[in-house]
Every structure is written in C-alpha cells, then in structure tokens.
Amino acid sequence: MSKCGQCIMKRFNALKTLTHEELERFSEHKTSLLIKKGENLMTEGNSINGLYCIRDGKCKLTKLNTNGKEQIIKFIKGGDILGHRSILSDEPVGLNATALEDMHVCFIPKGDILDSIRDNPQFSLNLIRNISLQLSQANTSISQMAQKPVKDRLAETLLNLEDIFGIDNEGCIDVVLTREEIANTIGTATESAIRLLSNLKKDGVIDLIGKKIKIINKNMLKNLSEGY
Amino acid sequence: MSKCGQCIMKRFNALKTLTHEELERFSEHKTSLLIKKGENLMTEGNSINGLYCIRDGKCKLTKLNTNGKEQIIKFIKGGDILGHRSILSDEPVGLNATALEDMHVCFIPKGDILDSIRDNPQFSLNLIRNISLQLSQANTSISQMAQKPVKDRLAETLLNLEDIFGIDNEGCIDVVLTREEIANTIGTATESAIRLLSNLKKDGVIDLIGKKIKIINKNMLKNLSEGY
DNA sequence: AAAATTAAATGATATTTATCATACTTAAAA
DNA sequence: TTTTAAGTATGATAAATATCATTTAATTTT
C-alpha cells in the first residue's frame, strides 16, 4: 500500500503540516477504500471513527430535509478531507457524502488524528481554519438561498462548480451532475432548473452538451448571479 | 470593575473550562462596553483583536447581500461569545453584530485568549465544538431556506426565537423585532411576513400584541414548520 | 400636544416558481 | 437488438411570493 508521506494529496489539505513521523504512523494504520458511484462514504446521523482523505473522485454532501427533499450543501473533490468536524466535536456526521463517480479514499483512524491534534498545534489549527472557512461559506450560502431568486442562484452555482472542478478538454465544467442534482443544489424544482438552463443557452451564456455544461460568458453569469 | 471569576456568564459558555488563574488574567485585561440599541459590536469585513463575552442584551448577526438586502443569520444573547471564529482562523469578521437592545459586553484581548488556547486543550476544544455546532446549524439553515416555503420558514423561526429568548411575563417571545427583521430572518418581503403573521393570528396559532408575539399552539406551529 | 416620521396592515396586481401533463432522448436491462 | 426505464425538455396552468399603492397605527421630533 502506498505511503501517506508520498501521497501528493497531503500537499493540498490540513495534513500538510504533519511531520514525517506522523505521516508514517498514518501510513501504517490507514486503510484504502474504493467508493463506487452512488455509494455513501458517510451517512447523516451515523457516527464515524476516523478521517477520510479523498485521493480522487468527486462526491456531494447532502442533507435530507424534513419534507423529504435532498439538499446539496457542498461538493468535495480529491485533496479534500471529510469527517474532521465529527471527530473534533465528537458528534455524529451531519451530512451524507455520496460519490458522484468512483472514488479512492484513505481512512485514518480517529486515534491517530487525535494524537496529532494533541501533539501538533499547527495541524489542529489547520483543522479549525478549515471548519471556520466552511462556516463562513455556509453563512454566505444561507444569505443567497434566502434572498436571491432561482435564476441568480443558478448562475452563482455554475460559477462555483467551475471554480471547484475546473474545466475539461472541451471547456466544459468538469463534473457530471443530473439536472435534478443541480436543482437540489440551488433549491428549486427540477423542471425549473432545466428551463433556466435552456434560457441561459438560448441567451448564449452557456452551452449544454449532453449533461455537460460549458460557460461561454462568465461575466454575464457573474452579473446574473448579482441580479443584473 | 467586576471579576470574570465571579461573572455568572462564565458558566454558560466555552469559558467555563478556564482555570481560576486564567480568569484572573482575563479580569485584569478585559474592558467592559455598553453597546446601545442599533449600534454595531462587530462589522463585516473588519478585523478584531479579541473575544466578546455578552453579559446581557441581545443582538442580531447579519450579512449584507450583493443585492443590498440584509439577511439575519443568527441571534445572540447573554452568555454567548462572539469573535472566536475570527481569532481562531485569523480572518476578518464575517458578520455584523447589531444590538437589538442595550448590551453589556466584556472584551478580552486576543493575546489572553490565544494563551488559554495553547495552555488549556479543553478550552480550545470547547471553542471548536462551538464553531462545529454553528456549522451544523448553518447547514440545516441552508437546507430549510432552499427547500421550504416562506410559511414553513416563518413557523420554524418563531419556534426558534422562543427557544433562544424564552418568554416574558405575558407569555410572549422575549425579544422585540420589527416585521422587517422577521422578514430578513426568513428571507422574504416585509409585507409577506406581515401577511403570514396575520394569517397565523387569524388561525389562532399565535397572538400579536404590538410588536410582541405569543405562541398559542406550539404543536400547530411545529406541524406548519414541517409542511403540514 | 401637534406635526412629522416610521412601522404595520391590507388590497390589487405582477412576477416568480411549482406542479402536472406529455413528448422526446438517452442510457440501461432483458 | 428490443424493451424498459430514467433523464431531459417543454407547454399549460396553478400556487406562492413580490411589488406597488394606500390606509391606519405607533413612535419620535419639534
């Protein structure tokens, strides 16, 4: 099994401040997982006894509302970590993590993480910063969901998706989502999301190539996301 | 000036794990502030160099949206602390804290807080838990804003407000908010909020006594908040 | 206390968004 | 390949919500 010390992912996340010794310890205890598309890496309400480090693949973090609808809260990709909030606060997981494509994930047991939190203040601080940033983004999200019309939220979401996942060879946003998933991200009916996407295409702001979306006029999208 | 060791507020928040010595140090360096109704304790984008501990009074945490509308993200009362996220992540404040009534607040300089974070893992952990809980609540909020109709969100908000602020002698929710502030909490137009409140009153679910709101049928409100 | 301002309430109307129905397309299964 | 199912698209309509206008009530200022 490959070593944590050689994994390039450690450069992208809170693990980058770990010492050689800590990474060795992680390597010895970690397990590697293959999560197939559609499977859950974490499930809302379950407890968790370790940290997930995403090597590659993409997943969505969702929450099931009391009315039975799924809300997508956040997207996760290679280099991200999952489960640290639950470990730190010693609480059950709050969100479902469902693979959007096959994922390779490493699982590092809670004990090793807690040891590093105790021994390595910088690691601890990085985890806190990660959660703080998430809180800050969540607050922005609340404000936008509450105040902005669906069209603006769609524009915002498309820009976000390109930011997170980048673009492929054809210039399309490099993630495959169903229209329903897009609708569940912006909080609207699937038909409404489809209609608004069609309008954006008709206006030449985006292009739709199968499920893939290509942003043509980023400035226009930005304006739309701000209500112009 | 009164001492932190004798302040009853220390029992209600993350400060409860501090040692006698730490509280002494806080006492020596802290300053007391009176924030008048309508004034800002913190302002979005500003940096902050300490922790605020609310002795009494209430405030709203708000965010100004790109479309100029104010979104209320959270309510704060005596016993709560503010500014720890900013201290921990070393980032500017993300929200405005505006007094809903006169407030008495203690300000503890950043240096003392960072000392305690270093020396007292339990204190550090409590701060992390506090932020984690906020993140969890924020995610719930995103989901509700995105998926639930305004009527459900209003019902939910009224229950929340009673939970947070309790009730006064007359059984009313013990906080005074304008209709506009209620609208900015649930993310709707002021007129819509007023109309829905009137409907709830007509249906005997709540009573409106001036600006004060009294919940009459809590069960009914709970059902409404879940879409029934 | 009177005047002026601000907040609350309500009707009329326009806009946004959801729902239902149906056709078409793509992907998956037999 | 044929069949079946799932996803996408679009029209018609209903429901939710915002906006504008006006009145009344409460609060603040003079």
The pTM score is: 0.94
Asked if residue A9 has pLDDT above 80, the reply is no
Asked if residue A14 has pLDDT above 90, the reply is no
Buried b (16+ CB within 10 A) or exposed e, B124-136: bbbbbbbbbebbb
Contacts of A226 in chain B (CB under 8 A): 66-67
Q: How far is B91 from chain A (nearest CA, A)?
A: 9
Concatenate the DSSP letters of all residues of chain B into one string.
---GGG-GGGGTSGGGG--HHHHHHHHHH-EEEEE-TT-EEE-TT----EEEEEEE--EEEEEE-TTS-EEEEEEE-TT-EESHHHHHHT----SEEEESS-EEEEEEEHHHHHHHHHH-HHHHHHHHHHHHHHHHHHHHHHHHHHHS-HHHHHHHHHHHHHHHH-B-TTSBBS----HHHHHHHHTS-HHHHHHHHHHHHHTTSEEEETTEEEES-HHHHHHHHTT-
Asked if residue A12 has pLDDT above 80, the reply is no
Asked if residue B186 has pLDDT above 90, the reply is yes
- Among A4-8, A85-89, B32-36, B181-185, where is mean pLDDT lowest? A4-8
The pair phi, psi for residue A212, each rounded to 5°, is -75, 150
Q: What is the pLDDT of residue A7?
A: 86
Cα-based torsion angle of the residue sequence A71, A74, A77, A81 in order, rounded to the nearest 10 degrees: -120
Kindly indicate the confidence band of residue B136, based on its pLDDT and cuts at 50, 70 and 90: very high
The radius of gyration of chain B's CA atoms, rounded to the nearest angstrom, is 19
CB contact under 8 A, A128 and B131: yes
Partner-chain residue, chosen from A90, A147, A225, that has the shortest CB–CB distance to B69 = A147
Asked if residue A47 has pLDDT above 90, the reply is yes
Other CB atoms within 10 Å distance of the CB of residue A202:
9
CB A140 within 8 Å of CB B62: no
Kindly indicate the confidence band of residue B98, based on its pLDDT and cuts at 50, 70 and 90: very high
Q: What is the pLDDT of residue B95?
A: 97
Average pLDDT over residues B201-209: 97
- Mean pLDDT estimate for chain A: 94
Q: What is the pLDDT of residue B134?
A: 96
Contacts of B129 in chain A (CB under 8 A): 88-90
Residue B146 contacts A where some CB pair is shorter than 8 Å: yes
Q: How far is A196 from chain B (nearest CA, A)?
A: 17
Asked if residue A136 has pLDDT above 90, the reply is yes
Best mutation target, B135, B148, B188, to test chain A (most A CBs within 10 A)? B135
Sheet holding A103-109, edge to edge: A31-35, A103-109, A50-56, A81-82
- Among A96-110, B4-18, B50-64, B156-170, where is mean pLDDT lowest? B4-18
The closest nt to A211, taking CA to C1', is: D8
Average pLDDT over residues A70-74: 98
CB A9 within 8 Å of CB A78: yes
Q: pLDDT tens across B104-122, in order?
A: 999 999 999 999 988 888 8
Average pLDDT over residues A60-76: 94
- Mean pLDDT estimate for chain B: 94
Q: How far apart are CA B26 and CA B12, in angstroms?
A: 16
Asked if residue B1 has pLDDT above 70, the reply is no
CB contact under 8 A, B131 and A129: no
- Give the residue from chain B lying closest to A185, CA to CA: B146
% of chain A residues with pLDDT over 70 = 100
How many interchain CB pairs under 8 A, A with B? 123
Q: pLDDT tens across A175-188, in order?
A: 999 999 999 999 99
Gap from A28 CA to D23 C1', Å: 76
* Bases along strand C below 7 A from a protein CB: 7-12, 16-21, 26-27
Gap from A217 CA to D8 C1', Å: 24
Is the shortest CB-to-strand distance from B178 to strand C under 7 Å? yes
Q: How far apart are CA A74 and CA B33, in angstroms?
A: 39
Average pLDDT over residues A130-135: 95
- Among A120-134, B158-172, B185-199, where is mean pLDDT lowest? A120-134
Within 13 Å and on the Cβ side, how many CA atoms surround B9? 19
Asked if residue A222 has pLDDT above 80, the reply is yes
Q: pLDDT tens across A86-130, in order?
A: 999 999 999 999 999 999 999 999 999 999 988 888 888 889 889
Q: What is the pLDDT of residue A1?
A: 64
Residue A2 contacts B where some CB pair is shorter than 8 Å: no
Q: pLDDT tens across A158-180, in order?
A: 999 999 999 999 999 999 999 99
Q: How far apart are CA A208 and CA A171, in angstroms?
A: 11
Average pLDDT over residues A19-31: 92
Q: pLDDT tens across B64-89, in order?
A: 998 889 999 999 999 999 999 999 99
Partner-chain residue, chosen from A118, A121, A135, that has the shortest CB–CB distance to B85 = A135
